[in-house]
Amino acid sequence: MKRSWQLQEAKARLSEVVKTAVKEGPQEITVRGETAAVLLSGRDYARLARPKPDFVAFLRQSPLAGVDLKLVRDTSTDRPVEL
């Protein structure tokens, strides 16, 4: 559960905010009622910051890579249009 901390409270209880982020997930820090920052555990940050494969690499890693699909397309240049 994400908890919201006012900046002054977060500063005074930084150790608790960090422990809570590790145990429970991201902790929101607010200034005058507006979200100013979010404290993440190192594990959550690493998961979000890891490089993502480009689209071609993503497709090549697909379980369907190399499957020969038999697709049939209509190659005619005209089609009936209702007016």
CATH of the domain at 12: 3.40.1620.10
**Rounded to two decimals, what is the model's pTM?**
0.62
Residue recorded with tokens 């049939």: 72
Q: Looking at the domain assignment, is residue 70 inside a domain?
A: no
The pLDDT assigned to 1 comes to 56
Q: Looking at the domain assignment, is residue 31 inside a domain?
A: yes
Query: Could you tell me the residue range of the domain that residue 16 belongs to?
Result: 3-51
Q: Looking at the domain assignment, is residue 82 inside a domain?
A: no
Q: Looking at the domain assignment, is residue 83 inside a domain?
A: no
For residue 41, the one-letter residue type is S
- 4: nearest Cα among 23, 30, 24: 30
1 vs 16, residue with greater confidence: 16
| Mean of the per-residue pLDDT values of the chain | 91
Per-residue pLDDT reduced to its tens digit, 10-50 = 999 999 999 999 999 999 999 999 999 999 999 999 999 99
How confident is the model over 61-69, as a mean pLDDT? 83
**Total domains, the chain:** 1
